[in-house]
Structures are given as structure tokens and as C-alpha cells.
Amino acid sequence: MNNKGQIIITDILLYLIILLVIFSIVIYATVTLNDNQVTRINNKQLNNLLEDSISALTKTSGTPNNWEELNVNKVDTVGLKSPKNQLLSYDKLIKLKNNPYLLDKYFPTGIDYSLTMYSKSNPNNEVLIAGKSNFNNKKQIQSKSTVVLFDYAFDITSFKKENMTVYCPYNHSEQWICKTINVNDESLSSGKYYIISDSDVKYVISNTYSENITGQTRKTCINNQLEQLMRNQNQTIFLHILTNNNNTYLVYDTDNKEEFLDEVIKPKTYVLNMKIAT
């Protein structure tokens, strides 16, 4: 009987078994972890792509920055921010909606995306701007939303009190705010001038010949009145408004966006949502 030898053999056998079990556990763990890591990086890349594309869309104006006015083949990059302020340009959004493929090049093949928008007050009415309306057979979908306000490219003159007294031709008192605009035949025919206010205000429109038209309104198009006061091709018009601390604006609209006029007084918030899927 070789007691000693038996012990060694049993011991080594046991060691080998334990070693095998531990190694297989370690190898299994490494393999699954590696797998996990691959999907995790994909997730992260997907998330980066999502964040980058939505921030590029909402924080840049695109190149050239008036791309919405150009032929689509002259568009380098797409961005929706208005170059003049922090709002999104409504015109750019519409241009993108009419040419949704402009966004395609930002996403690698195999990745689907969708860009939708809805009004915060009416979340059920979601409009598809670009991309796919549904993702069938996709494993991973990531989504990001951001709240936006729109710039409708109105030319807005605010009737606010200024710290400097302006003597108008009618020597109006402090309760009035009187501003000057320059109107010509072309600006009259290619756009509409509106007076809008948050409550009824009295107004006087006069020209340099001291001819005037008066009225009272909350929202009105004054093109007809202006036409009556045009005595020169380039006519300077004085607009006198009895504001009583109301928010009153003169708005010039060149592409029939009357439906959005109220947003000059009370801006509406919209939600822009982007989804990407693999």
C-alpha cells in the first residue's frame, strides 16, 4: 500500500477539477462580459449619435446658415436654429419636412431614425418630420426629446416704453408710443402688416403729410390703411398706439403665416423628439 502516493494522486485530481471549474467560470465570465461590453459600447455609440444629432439640429443653424432658402443640392449640413436668436426656425423645419432625406446622411446604414414634433398642449397630434414612422424588427430603440420654441421669421416691432422721449408729429403724450416705419409699394405687395396686442388698443396711422387713419383693435391687418396713406414710392409712416401698458406689436409677415401671429404675444412650446434604432 502506498499511502503517500494515493494522497498525492487524489489531491492532484481534486486540484485539477477545481482548477478546471474555476477556469471555465472565468472564461465563461470573460466571454459574456466581452459580449456585454460590445452591446454596451453600441448602446453608448447609439446614445452619442442620438445626442450629437439632436444637439446639432437644435443648436446650429446649418451651413450655409440660410440653407432653407437654397436649392437642396446646395445644402451642406442641416441645423434648425435661427441664426438671429436661440429659437428654431420654422422655415428650416418645413424645408426639412419637405426634404426629409437631407437627414439620412447623418445616420450609418442599418440604423433607423425618426424625427417627430408635437405641440405641448396637444401631445396626441405628433407630426413626422423626417425618418421612419415605425421601427419593426428592431432590437434597440433610443429616444430623446427637447422642448423648443419657433421663430416664424416675422419682422417684429415692439411698442414698449423707451427711456428716451420721442416727439411724434402729433405731440402725443406719454401714454402713447409712436414709432416710424418705412413702407414702399414692394413691401406692401409682398407682405402683410399687422397690429397685434394682448387687449384692445387705440391706434393712429399717419404719413408725412399729416393725413391719418384711426382705429381700435386687438389684431388687424393694416395694409389697406397703409395703401391709402402712400403718397410716395417710399413713404415714411408714423404708427401711434395708445398702449396703456399692453404688449403691442407691429408684425410684418411675408409668407402668409397668419395662423402663428398669436405666438408673437404668447409663444407656444413644442417638443421635438428623435428616436434611433438598430
Find, among 96, 104, 110, the residue nearest to 131 by Cα: 104
Q: Which residue's entry shows cell 402712400?
A: 230
Residues 103 to 162: which contact other proteins by CB under 8 A?
162
Binder to other proteins among 2, 167, 189, 245 (CB under 8 A)?
A: 167
Task: Record the cell numbers describing residue 118, joined without a space.
Answer: 408635437
Task: Record the cell numbers describing residue 96, joined without a space.
Answer: 426639412
| 166 touching other proteins, by CB under 8 A | yes
Find, among 150, 264, 251, 237, the residue nearest to 192 by Cα: 251
Closest separation in Å from C-beta 170 to Zn ion: 5
Which of 54/178 has CB closer to Zn ion?
A: 178
| 186 touching other proteins, by CB under 8 A | no
Binding partner of 240, given other proteins, Zn ion, none, CB within 5-8 angstroms per partner class? Zn ion
State how far Cα 232 lies from the chain centre: 40
Binder to other proteins among 61, 82, 207, 248 (CB under 8 A)?
A: 207
Binding partner of 172, given Zn ion, other proteins, none, CB within 5-8 angstroms per partner class? Zn ion
Closest separation in Å from C-beta 175 to Zn ion: 10
Q: Which residues bind Zn ion (CB under 5 A)?
A: 168, 170, 172, 178, 240
Which of 109/189 has CB closer to other proteins?
A: 189
Closest separation in Å from C-beta 22 to other proteins: 6
Closest separation in Å from C-beta 54 to Zn ion: 47
Q: How many CB atoms lie within 10 A of CB 255?
A: 13
Closest separation in Å from C-beta 265 to Zn ion: 22
Residues at the contact surface with other proteins, assessed by CB under 8 A: 7, 10-11, 14-15, 19, 22, 26, 29-30, 33, 37, 44, 52, 55, 59, 162-164, 166-170, 180, 182, 184, 207-210, 231-232, 234-236
